[in-house]
Each structure stands twice: as structure tokens, then as C-alpha cells.
Structure 1
Amino acid sequence: MKKVLLILCIVFSTTLFAQEEWGNVQNNTVTLNEIPPIWPGCESSSATSRKNCFNQKLAQHISKNFKYPAEEYKNNVEGKVIVEFIVNEKGMVEVKNVSGGTPALQAEAKRNIMAIPKMAKPGMMGGKPRAIKYTVPFTFKTGK
């Protein structure tokens, strides 16, 4: 009886751990949690703080690396560019789509996103590496 109780406790605690990190089981429906990639330097213990750190590092990266194309700025060309990208299963960025603005503005927005460093850890779902999709808007405004 003690052995059965011990085995049940081990199985039950393992099930709870798996549900907390990977997903939930409720009314015969399984929901898997998507865990975002971890930006280098954001390897803290809390999942919430890692997600906030990722968003903060992404914003810092974009603003630090933002360059208005000289010809477009000189000619007062403005526009909004949308970049859709993934962080793949290996933690590398892949641009999937760039839309809006002129070709020069699109190229600059794509260059900025492609300069994102390799993630410390890729996104996960169900305990396996998974590509995670992001969409970032770039607003080019000369202010003239």
C-alpha cells in the first residue's frame, strides 16, 4: 500500500509540474503554453520577467540600431513599415514579410530586425523548441 501511495504521489507531482510549464488540461481540452524565446542576458528565473526583458531588449535594439535612409530623409519621404518575423527553433531571426513604405524604408526596417542577436534559448511549446512569430511596426517620420 505504501508503494502504491508513493508512486501515485510521484505521478501526481510530475503531472502538476508538466501542466504548470507546458499547458493546462481542463474538461478534456489540452492547452499548451507558448514560452517565448529568451534574449541574451534575460535568463532570470521568472517567466514573466523573461518576457518583459525580451520586450525591453527588443525595443532597445530597434531604437539603438534605427537609421533613417539618408536619401529618404533628404527627400522628406515618410512611411510606416511592418516587419513580420519569427525567432526559429534555433533561436535565429527569419524575416517572413515586410510591407508598407518605400523599398528603401523596407530595406532599413528589415536590416534592423536581421541584426537581432541569436537568442539564449529558442521559444518552446510542449517542451519542444518552436518558432515564435512577431510583428514590429516602424514609423519613419522626418519631423520637417
Structure 2
Amino acid sequence: MERKKPEADLRKYYTVFLQLGMILTLAIFIVAVRIDITSLAPDEYVLDEQEIVEMEEIIQTRQIETPPPPPRPPVPVEVPNDEIIDDVDIDISADWDLDDRLDMPPPQQEEEEPEEDFFVVVEEMPELIGGLASIQENIRYPEMARRAGIEGRVYVQFIVNEQGQVEDPQVIRGIGGGADEEALRAVRQAQFRPGMQRGRPVRVQYSLPVVFRLQN
């Protein structure tokens, strides 16, 4: 068996390689020891300052309702008065005797209402001479009522005196168109037998209808 060359024998340089390895290891250890690998303290950290937002406390306000002010008193306005008041001299005599008799004013007399001088119902009522036909024959139909086509009854109230004559005729229900005036005219010309009460003629209140009817 062929032996290796002496140049290729690694055991020859074993001691050299061992020393170099030890030196290199020692150098790495020294360098590692000298390097400061400690971390910074927590206080040495530099942080960006954050913006501090202050929250304002909102105070809830309560609205106080104030009562309305009282109305202002009316301002008196001076009104000119042109009326001149005359001074009245009152004579008060100190010699007035309290024992004197005072004259009392006369008592007021109540006004008596005039009694009606006519009757409404009597023993014998007035009687129209000739009946209602005597009044109807005396009627002249008013032209205004004829053109307007007015028809109906006009009631007239009046007084029949002791002589049988008509006094104070009044229309108590009319139809207009001139018929009321014509009814009063016809009634004023009527004649009656007077009403009788206890055998003597008296004034009696009476009423009559006057008919107005157009002839076709």
C-alpha cells in the first residue's frame, strides 16, 4: 500500500489550525462582549406627542319663563271743558230755627188713565144700513191694484157713535196697492143704526171686511 505524500498529511498542521481556531473564537467573544446590546429603558423611548383634546362639559340650561309685564295704567288725558260753571252762593243762615215747621211738598197725584168712552159688546150691536152691499157698491177699484192684480180683504176698525156715524176708521189688515185708502173712504160714508145699551144709544167699537175682487 502506497503511503500519502508528506505535504498532504493534515496532522502536521493540526496544531496550527487548532491555535488559529482558538484565536478566532477568542476574538469573536471579545467583540461580542464589547458591543452594548442592551435595549433602551422604557423612559428613553421618544414618542410623538399626541394632540390632547379637551372635552368641554355641556351644562344644560333651563329656560325660565318670566311672566308678562303688567299692563300700563291708562294715562289720563285732559279734555278741555268749555263750559263755564257759575259760582253759586249758598246762603246758610245761622239763625235757622229747628223748631219751625217744615212745609212738605204736595203729594204727587197719579194720573188716571182715561176710561174708554166706547163699548166693545152691547145688548144691541150697531146695524149697517143696507148691509155690506152698500159699501161694496161704493168701492172704486184702485188702478194700481188692478194693474198689479191685487185682490183680497181689507179689515177696517172704527167707532159707531150715538148717531150711527163712523168715527176714526183704521185699517187693521190691508193688502196695499191703494186698496186700503179706498176701503177707508167707503167706510166713512157708511150709515149705521147705533148700538143700544140699557135702552139708550152708546158708542160701540166695530169692524168690517171690505172685499176687493177683480172681474174676469
TM-score interval for Structure 1 and Structure 2 normalised by the shorter chain: 0.5 to 0.7
Question: Aligned partners of 1:96 and 1:114: how far apart in 2?
Answer: 7
Preserved CA contact (<8 Å) 1:83 1:95: no
How many residue pairs align between the two structures? Answer: 95
Higher relative contact order by CA 8 Å / sep ≥ 6: 1 or 2? Answer: 1
SS of residue in 2 equivalent to 1:59: helix
Matched with 1:126 is 198
> Cα gap change, 1:61/1:104 in structure 2, threshold over 3 Å: closer, same or farther?
same
Matched with 2:124 is 35
CA deviations on 1:63-87 (whole Å, 9 max, x unpaired) are 2212211221122223321111221
TM-score, normalised relative to structure 1 = 0.54
SS of residue in 1 equivalent to 2:181: helix
CA deviations on 1:89-108 (whole Å, 9 max, x unpaired) are 23211244202211611101
Matched, 1:81 2:170: no
Measured after TM superposition, the shift of residue 56 of structure 1 is 6.7
Question: Aligned partners of 2:152 and 2:175: how far apart in 1?
Answer: 5
Matched, 1:139 2:211: yes
Preserved CA contact (<8 Å) 1:72 1:104: yes
Amino acid at match of 1:113: V
TM-score, normalised relative to structure 2 = 0.38
The 5 Å alignment of 1:41-120 reads: 54=127, 57-98=130-171, 99-102=173-176, 104-117=178-191, 119=192
Measured after TM superposition, the shift of residue 114 of structure 1 is 0.5
Preserved CA contact (<8 Å) 1:79 1:102: no
Amino acid at match of 2:163: K
Q: RMSD of the alignment, in Å? A: 2.6
From the two aligned structures, give the one with the greater strand fraction. 1
Matched with 1:6 is none
Question: Aligned partners of 2:208 and 2:164: how far apart in 1?
Answer: 18
Measured after TM superposition, the shift of residue 143 of structure 1 is 5.1
Matched with 1:27 is none
CA deviations on 1:92-130 (whole Å, 9 max, x unpaired) are 11244202211611101111101113x4x5221012321
**Moved >4 Å (runs of 4+):** none
Q: What stretches of structure 1 of length at least 5 have no aligned partner? A: 1-31, 38-53
SS of residue in 1 equivalent to 2:150: coil
Preserved CA contact (<8 Å) 2:144 2:177: no
Preserved CA contact (<8 Å) 2:156 2:183: yes
Identity of aligned residues (%): 33
Question: Aligned partners of 1:131 and 1:125: how far apart in 2?
Answer: 9
Greater radius of gyration (CA):
2
